[in-house]
Chain A
Amino acid sequence: MTIRTIMLGACSALAFTAFAGAETLTIATVNNGDMIRMQKLTGDFTEKNPDIELEWVTLEENVLRERVTTDIATKGGQYDVMTIGNYEVPIWAKQGWLLELDSLGDDYDVDDLLPAIRGGLTVDGKLYAAPFYGESAMIMYRTDLFEASGLEMPDEPTWSFIGEAARKIKEDNPDVNGICLRGKAGWGENMAFVTALTNSFGGRWFDEEWKPQFDQPEWKEALTFYADLMKDAGPSGASSNGFNENLTLFQQGKCGMWIDATVAASFVSNPDDSTVAGDVGYALFPSKEGVDNHGNWLWSWNLAVPAGSQKAEAAQKFIAWATSKDYTELVAEKEGWANVPPGTRTSLYENEDYKEAAPFAEPTLAAMQAADITKPTVDPVPYTGGQFVAIPEFQGLGTTVGQIFSSVIAGQSSVDDALAQAQTVAEREMRRAGYN
């Protein structure tokens, strides 16, 4: 009886020790297809690391950004792994809010990360976040409508060709919009597109003295082109359309062209969701005649560890698993090559299986290779970032300017008025923030 009691006690103690020893990582993330897939596949990680348990906090992108910013700025310590964009990484790393990722393991192969993406996550030679997936922007267009209208997409399309083609498609197919572009206000919505568009017109947000440049002719030319194009060949109510709305329109066959994030390619070419899956072509982000610039759009969702985390080692183990080549192979095995997270590793684009399963692989790689966030436009700038400006003030300023430009698309304001207003707002904000 006594021995049995002792044995029972020992077993309970052992079980308790094992339970107490298990570390729980809280991971904050966004609700998109690749992230949900990762949550489903985490059994592979917990099997290999039985001492680590995972808890997920999934939130809408803007709420997530606000939540993790509050937590990291106050050192709340609610999260062990955070999903953040390449906009936040350099800003937060410079603030000392992120831990350097220095123990991802010997077989992680950090040199395999795409140089453009890796560069955006590195500060002073140290990697502060690991990319989960990356994207640039490109043209997605309907090959059937192009053929019917006698149009041919050039290898390096220009904006004037895009304008003509959009109007021609609209003319030939009255129930289809010639082109769908973002109009919904937000620094990550319409301003992502408008900033990349203006880069390709040779415009910039600030000169080297941080003086706002909305009063320069490049901005006027770019915004006029955008507003006219949307008026002539865009969808009605375009000022409320963001990525999601345009994706739905394109999938339902309502857009002749759509210029947006490369990650959309896998959605528009998936026959389960898209009615036009077999008729989609891809081309490089347009440039203006005489200006060698394709917008320099570059975005990645990344996993990072907040500074002061008590579980840094386990967190890095998880990050190494989720962003490794093995994870890519795991997704390919379970869900097919077309569903692996794109845009982070060179080796993926050398993989024949992937290239065969994903017709958008090469245009995606070409778009990403064409993007240089350190030189986003023609003239020199004091900031980095392609479709955004990597300064803390950009979230607020970008959204305010986005609202002003969205009202142009809604027909409530003229291009000249909007640019004058944007210039005033930007000058005030930059002065207030101490830039000039």
Chain B
Amino acid sequence: MARAVTTRRKTIATAAAWLIAFVIFFPILYTVITSFKTEPEAIAGISLVPSGTFENYVEVQTQRDYFRPFMNSVIMAVGSTILALIVAVPAAWSMAFSPTKRTKDILMWMLSTKMMPAVGVLVPLYLIFRDTGLLDTRLGLTIVLTLVNLPIVVWMLYTYFREIPGEILEAARMDGASLWNEIVYVLTPMAVPGIASTMLLNIILAWNESFWTIRLTAAQAAPLTAFIASFSSPQGLFWAKLSAASTLAIAPILIMGWFSQKQLVRGLTFGAVK
């Protein structure tokens, strides 16, 4: 009897998990389906069966260059992630293993910068970029994306590092390991799942960031978010083409996420069960 109840519970839980996953994934699935429809089909109403045309992809490719924004997205997402890690690993290390009375306040202050609406600093940042010649440059945008995501990276790494027993680091120190060796040879290998998932999440966040990437770029450094935005039209609803452009823009990150899902899940649940 008890087993029957457990099995039933399991079935219900599995079904619920699938349902929730499907609901979350549906907008992406529908975007992909719509990209294979003709424009009248796309507007006609909800239908899960497209006519299977590739004309939107051809049209999108002929109308705009995909390669340059794609490369810009790759460079900025990866670049900002590396930069953020260089800053965040030592920061999180010091806060996790040498906390002071103010550590919690510092962490909260870092996170509070995410609570401010981005548009509030648009004009000052625009002026700084103008004066330093960083407008419409990959370097400028990489710096901004690093700063935008840094609080989250520090927080995540701090949470992971806190799960590592300080005694192990102490033991390494007693064996004569320098600070550098301690971080590189002892801490980092133990925190790899955490660092990997932080990296992946940061790449995803940087890839999808649209406020700054659209506003601080023009032609040279515009990434895939600007590529999608360029297909929105004041004259006519081009949902199928817009869907094709969106599919092209999210495909690389979706594929990356698919292949790294094990690491991502492992990292995100790291330390969740004690």
Residues of chain A touching chain B, judged by Cβ–Cβ distance below 8 Å, are: 26, 28, 30-33, 36, 55-61, 63, 66-67, 70-71, 74-79, 243-245, 247-248, 252, 263, 267, 273
Please give the distance in Å from B122's CB to the nearest CB on chain A: 7
Check B136 against A78 for contact (C-beta < 8 Å).
yes
In the assembled complex, B76 has its CB within 8 A of some CB on chain A: no
Check A248 against B235 for contact (C-beta < 8 Å).
no
Interface centre among A31, A61, A76, A244 (most CB of B within 10 A): A31
Contact with A along B224-247 (1 / 0, CB 8 A): 001001111111110000000000
Return the contact of B235 from the options A59, A77, A267 (Cβ within 8 A).
A267
Residues of A within 8 A of B214 (CB): 59, 63, 67
In the assembled complex, B23 has its CB within 8 A of some CB on chain A: no
Check A248 against B237 for contact (C-beta < 8 Å).
yes
Check A78 against B218 for contact (C-beta < 8 Å).
yes
In the assembled complex, B126 has its CB within 8 A of some CB on chain A: yes
In the A-B complex, list the 7 residue pairs whose CB atoms are closest, starting with the nearest.
A55-B219, A60-B232, A58-B230, A32-B235, A78-B218, A61-B234, A31-B233
Closest residue of chain B to A266, judged by CB? B235
Check B135 against A76 for contact (C-beta < 8 Å).
yes
Interface centre among A55, A60, A61 (most CB of B within 10 A): A60
Please give the distance in Å from A55's CB to the nearest CB on chain B: 4
Check A59 against B135 for contact (C-beta < 8 Å).
no
Chain A at the B interface: mostly helix, strand, loop or mixed? mixed
Check B123 against A26 for contact (C-beta < 8 Å).
no
Check A33 against B218 for contact (C-beta < 8 Å).
no
Residues of A within 8 A of B215 (CB): 66-67, 70
In the assembled complex, B130 has its CB within 8 A of some CB on chain A: yes
Residues of A within 8 A of B251 (CB): none
Check A263 against B235 for contact (C-beta < 8 Å).
yes
Residues of A within 8 A of B17 (CB): none
Residues of B within 8 A of A75 (CB): 130
Residues of A within 8 A of B222 (CB): 57
Closest residue of chain B to A31, judged by CB? B233
Please give the distance in Å from A71's CB to the nearest CB on chain B: 8
Residues of A within 8 A of B220 (CB): 55
10 further A-B contacts with Cβ under 8 Å, apart from A30-B233, A76-B129, A248-B237, are A33-B235, A33-B236, A57-B218, A59-B214, A243-B234, A243-B235, A244-B234, A247-B236, A263-B235, A267-B235
Residues of chain B touching chain A, judged by Cβ–Cβ distance below 8 Å, are: 40, 43, 63-64, 122-123, 126-127, 129-130, 135-136, 214-215, 218-220, 222, 226, 229-237
* Contact A244 to B219, CB < 8 A, known contacts A59-B230, A63-B229: no
User: 26 A-B pairs, CB-CB below 8 angstroms?
Assistant: A26-B218, A30-B233, A31-B231, A31-B232, A31-B233, A36-B63, A55-B220, A57-B219, A57-B226, A58-B64, A60-B234, A66-B215, A67-B215, A70-B123, A70-B215, A74-B123, A75-B130, A76-B129, A76-B135, A244-B234, A244-B235, A244-B236, A244-B237, A247-B235, A252-B43, A267-B235
What's the Cα separation between A324 and B219 when bound, in Å? 25
Interface centre among A28, A30, A32, A244 (most CB of B within 10 A): A244
Check A248 against B43 for contact (C-beta < 8 Å).
yes
Interface centre among B126, B130, B233 (most CB of A within 10 A): B233
Check A70 against B122 for contact (C-beta < 8 Å).
yes
What's the Cα separation between A61 and B232 when bound, in Å? 8
What's the Cα separation between A32 and B43 when bound, in Å? 18
Residues of B within 8 A of A77 (CB): 130, 135
Residues of B within 8 A of A61 (CB): 234
Please give the distance in Å from B234's CB to the nearest CB on chain A: 4
Return the contact of B130 from the options A28, A63, A76 (Cβ within 8 A).
A76
* Contact A70 to B126, CB < 8 A, known contacts A26-B218, A57-B218, A248-B237: yes
* Contact A79 to B236, CB < 8 A, known contacts A70-B126, A74-B127: no
Check B229 against A56 for contact (C-beta < 8 Å).
no
* Contact A60 to B229, CB < 8 A, known contacts A74-B123, A74-B126: yes
What's the Cα separation between A302 and B165 when bound, in Å? 65
Please give the distance in Å from A426's CB to the nearest CB on chain B: 24
Residues of A within 8 A of B64 (CB): 58
What's the Cα separation between A309 and B214 when bound, in Å? 21
Check B226 against A31 for contact (C-beta < 8 Å).
no
What's the Cα separation between A32 and B219 when bound, in Å? 18
Residues of B within 8 A of A267 (CB): 235-236
What's the Cα separation between A245 and B43 when bound, in Å? 10
